[in-house]
Amino acid sequence: MSTEPLLSARDLVKEFPVAGTAGLLRPARRFRAVDDVSFDLHAGQTLALVGESGSGKSTTARLASRLIDVTSGAVRLDGRDITSVTGAELLEVRRQVQVVFQDPFSSLNPRHTVERIVTAPLRYQKRPVPGGTKAFAQGLLERVGLDPDHVSRFPAQFSGGQAQRIGIARALAVGPRVLVCDEAVSALDVSVQAQIINLLRDLQREEGFGCLFIAHDLAVVRQIATTVAVMTAGRVVEAGERDAVFDDPQHEYTRTLLAAVPRIRPEWEQARLRNAAKRDAEDAAAGDAAVGVDRTDADNGPSAGNGPADEDNPTEVTA
């Protein structure tokens, strides 16, 4: 790992005015959504910001990606302060830092084809599309596990997991160095979540980008994160390597979050195993009956009247 972080935040603060609190001679009260947050993200690594709803993690992600302006603090990309950049410099930041949003259908234009959607970042950046838009879009779809021939389809023709893959393809179009995933799998079912997480890990290995992963599901975080920062009430209360945070949490809030993770009760798991064994035995018995196999003799030895005669089990022979 490089000692120089790819993306770093120092003392981030974000305040919003509270509606209806301004008076004729008094300013509106302000709500502090992010309070003195700092973190480092290295290339090829995944930093997960976790916490309950309203903890400030998504606002922090928007500050780090320059989607909204900070109240105070600094964001640095490759050591360069990007907190106040504008114009062409901000456009370059947009190229290097891309976002995958929570709801793919609300972030994809329903009137645009997939080809137009995934090549949009290049048009906004006024960059040429290598090999033409159709071939480029097909290549992106193939990279995220979709049929390249579906470039002429519209978002409504895809499932939620497929639509999220399109969002990832769009983010990859400009070759970002940082990928911000803001609750990117929370709206998907468990099996699709696993597929998207595996896709992100594979792409990260290939491209080497850093990933800022926002989530409240700790089971998902444990699968993908390298480091974890736990947030509540706008502040980071614990941060460290993934296994250290999960296996030996130091803050009470972190312990509360981990305790809330659903777990299968041991007696339920034992009952499931017993029922599975019973079903297997019934299936085996049904299969034996279908082919005329009697396992009674094989299990219990020779039955009376069928085995060889001996002193303890004489066999009567009649003429």
Beta-sheet strand order (sheet of 46-50): 97-100, 178-182, 210-215, 46-50, 227-232, 235-241
Would you say residue 172 has pLDDT above 90? Answer: yes
Contact 114, 153 (CB under 8 A): yes
Share of the chain above pLDDT 70, in %: 89
What is the Cα–Cα distance from 129 to 134, expressed in whole angstroms?
Answer: 9
Would you say residue 319 has pLDDT above 50? Answer: no
The predicted pLDDT at position 275 comes to: 86
Tens-place pLDDT, residues 260-275: 877 766 777 677 788 8
The predicted pLDDT at position 307 comes to: 47
What is the mean predicted confidence (pLDDT) over 43-60? 93
What is the Cα–Cα distance from 131 to 128, expressed in whole angstroms?
Answer: 9
Would you say residue 309 has pLDDT above 50? Answer: no
Task: Map residue 317 onto helix, strand or coil.
Answer: coil
The predicted pLDDT at position 2 comes to: 55
Under the banding of pLDDT at 50, 70 and 90, the label for residue 216 is confident
Under the banding of pLDDT at 50, 70 and 90, the label for residue 318 is very low
Would you say residue 244 has pLDDT above 90? Answer: yes
The predicted pLDDT at position 118 comes to: 94
Helices 160-172 and 190-207: angle between axes, nearest 10 degrees? 20
- What mean pLDDT value characterizes the chain? 87
What is the Cα–Cα distance from 283 to 36, expressed in whole angstroms?
Answer: 61
Task: Map residue 158 onto helix, strand or coil.
Answer: coil
Tens-place pLDDT, residues 181-207: 998 888 788 888 889 999 999 999 999
Q: Are strands 80-81 and 97-100 parallel, antiparallel or unpaired?
A: unpaired
Would you say residue 171 has pLDDT above 80? Answer: yes
**297 against 208, higher pLDDT:** 208
